Structure 1
Amino acid sequence: MLKKIYNCVIIGSGPAGYSAAIYAARADMNPILFSGFQPGGQLTTTSIVDNYLGFPEGVNGIDLMNDCKKQAERFNTQIINESVNQVILTDKKGGIHKIFFEEKKYIQSKGLIIATGSRPKFLGINKEKKFIGLGISFCATCDGFFHKDKNVAVIGGGDTALEEANYLAKICKKVYLIVRKDYFKASKILQYHISKKNNINILFCSHVTEIIGDNFLEGIRIFNHKNETSRILFINGLFIAIGHIPNTEIFKNELDLDKRGYILVKEGRTITSKPGVFAAGDVQDPDYRQAITSAGTGCMAALDLEKYLSLCV
């Protein structure tokens, strides 16, 4: 145990975590940041980030997150390259939270900012993870531009999948929408919009059995389990939209979560169900999931924590 009681501990090192660290450090909260199992977050699996403000030529995802880390360190954020495995959160205003890491080590803090993000659900087939950033993506608004006027495919039948397909249909030549079931789970209004797009080809009762390509995505083999036929689609981009999983396992018995596992926050704020605990980024955002919105809520969390600490004096 580190006996010192800190003002600010941040769990997570994506845009939300580093943004929170920069604001907290500049407010003299002397933050400690745990980088977690994936330092830099999901952006480190993206080759080029083309829609982050301030980079007219785009920026490599790893380079962007390395710069965010350097900026946080410039203001003396203490970064611990460990994952947090348990938290004990107090219900008392001005109380002390315990954050555990390694085996039985823990630190104590009056304030905690959770920025652990989420992770996409995978299909579980060969080459899927290998080709992330090389044709496979989980975000059409992030990567769709790279496939302008080309053929792509979207996997999924829910709201997210249809939103992705609808977006891609505006910029891509053809969009294959691959749905495992024989119906959509998405809302009626989204289904209506999809039905009005002439360049969306819907393939019900189908799933991907093989990803084709050596060094990058060249196509996919799909199997129709209704008529038991197989075919190859030659595509440049594959967008997997079967859902995300928020990284909230260690908070299940400590914070209020929604039915999907996302941390519940006060509307328009980052305040959670426990005093002195704030959530930023994808871990509390099932809708937008963008680097820039994550960075924005990281800023908000630091400001919310600063105000909370001032009221606890």
Structure 2
Amino acid sequence: MEQIWDCIVIGGGPAGLSAALNLRRRGRTVLVLSGGAPLLEKAELVDNYLGMPGVTGKEMMERFRAHAAAQGAVLKAQRAGNVMPMGGTFLVGAGSDMYTSRAVILACGVSKAGYVPGEAEYLGRGVSYCATCDGMLYRQKRVAVWGLSPEAPEEAEFLHSIGCRVTYIAAKRPQALAQGIAFVSGAVTAVYGGAAVTAVDVKGEMLETDGLFILRPAAPPDALVPGIGMENGRVKTDAAMRTSIPRLYAAGDMLGAPLQVAKAVGEGLIAGLCAAEDIQNMERKANA
């Protein structure tokens, strides 16, 4: 039987791990999905976090992960590509897997890459961020996978396995790329089409395709969760980190400046406690 998690946390940085830790302290089951290394991990020195002076970002992240895991949080190195509210639960697509939870906390940081021309226009009409969610729409069709995340070769292999004719686009060919998948060196610079996607531009050359899967380390929040409330390019929340969608919360850098570890940890704590409380209230109503 498929496990229903109390909460899925998307993002394994300070905000996400703080949320996971505090959910576990409230006895809740937690799955943390983290696609790629958090920005903090690249910091040579962090000297402004109370009680932990003079540490590297990598050392700090190792301590955060160990603490959350020791409390029982399950950490998986998978990139979430789609979050679908289903009424009482959420479906989260990650790689070739689908997970179910009662609540979701977004703590996936900020996407440094912006949209390429045509990407936003064709989102849902040939452009997708989740192979598991949308792959079956392209069986026996041509698809391009723009691989910008460590998990991208796995998602390309999934598309190939269900009958898609896959072309993988990246700066260099991944060692893990499955046989039968074509490779083009470069980056997508534009998306073209009519009613739906028909081609992408790679290094000034047109590649005809029926669909484009863009697999970045972090998808833009409103692409990850269509319909989420945004304000000035940031996720809009109340003081308890609740978003416009019930039992969907956000914390950390995706809420805006200052982009600091202490702020992210505090917001993650609030989101985790609020999620635990809201789940408990939902259970009480169901048992009343």
What does the per-residue CA deviation read over 1:138-180, in whole Å, with 9 as the maximum and x for residues that have no partner?
xxxxxxxxxxxxxxxxxxxxxxxxxxxxxxxxxxxxxxxxxxx
Displacement of 1:4 in angstroms is: 1.6
One-letter amino acid matched to 2:251: A
- Aligned equivalents of 1:265 and 1:249: distance in 2? 13
**Which of 83, 87, 105 is the aligned partner of 2:79?**
83
Give TM-score scaled by structure 1 length.
0.54
Corresponding residue of 2:274:
304
Q: Distance in 2 between matches of 1:66 and 1:32?
A: 18
Seen in structure 2, the aligned counterparts of structure 1 residues 119 and 46 have a Cα distance that, compared at 3 Å, is farther
Instruction: Quote how far apart the aligned CAs of 1:45 are.
Output: 1.2
CA distance in 2, matches of 1:7, 1:290: 28
CA displacement, residues 203-255 of structure 1 (integer Å, 9 cap, x when unaligned): xxxxxxxxxxxxxxxxxxxxxxxxxxxxxxxxxxxxxxxxxx98425335131
User: In the alignment, is residue 101 of structure 1 matched against residue 94 of structure 2?
Assistant: yes
Matched, 1:117 2:109: yes
Alignment-mate amino acid for residue 228 of structure 2: L
Check whether the contact 1:88–1:254 (CA below 8 A) recurs between aligned residues.
no
Partner in structure 2 of residue 19 of structure 1: 18
The answer on whether the counterparts of 2:11 and 2:35 sit within 8 Å (CA) in structure 1 is yes
Q: Does the CA-based 8 Å contact 1:247-1:283 persist in structure 2?
A: no
Aligned to 2:228: 255
State, as a whole percentage, how many aligned pairs show the same letter: 25
Give the gaps of 5 or more residues in structure 2.
115-217, 284-288
State the Cα deviation string for residues 184-204 of structure 1 (Å, max 9, x = none): xxxxxxxxxxxxxxxxxxxxx
Runs of 4+ residues deviating >6 angstroms: none
Contact 1:257/1:263, CA 8 A, preserved across alignment:
yes
Partners in 2 of 1:31 and 1:96 — Cα distance?
Answer: 14
Query: SS at the partner of 2:28?
Result: coil
Gaps of at least 5 residues in structure 1 are 123-244
In structure 2, relative to structure 1, the CA distance for the partners of 1:87 and 1:42 (3 Å cut) is same
Partner of 2:249: 278
Deviations 1:87-128 (A, max 9, x none): 1113x4xx110000113x211100111100114579xxxxxx
Instruction: Find the aligned partners of 1:43 and 1:288 in 2 and give their Cα distance.
Output: 14
Summarize the Cα distance change of 1:249–1:273 in structure 2 as closer, same or farther, 3 Å threshold: closer
- Is 1:51 matched up with 2:22? no
Structure 2 partner of 1:35: 34
Structure 2 match to 1:228: none
Residue in structure 2 matched with residue 5 of structure 1 by the alignment: 4
**In the TM superposition, what are the counterparts of 1:160-199 in structure 2 within 5 Å?**
none
For residues 119 and 6 of structure 1, the distance between their equivalents in structure 2, rounded to whole angstroms, comes to 26
C-alpha contact (below 8 Å) 2:81/2:224 kept by paired residues: no
Per the TM alignment, residue 259 of structure 1 is displaced from its structure 2 partner at its CA by: 3.7
Query: What is the RMSD computed on CA atoms of the aligned residues?
Result: 1.9
Distance 1:10-1:3 versus aligned 2 partners, 3 A rule: same
Which residue number corresponds to residue 237 of structure 2? Answer: 265
Which of 70, 77, 84 is the equivalent residue of 2:66? 70
- C-alpha displacement at 1:76, in angstroms? 1.2
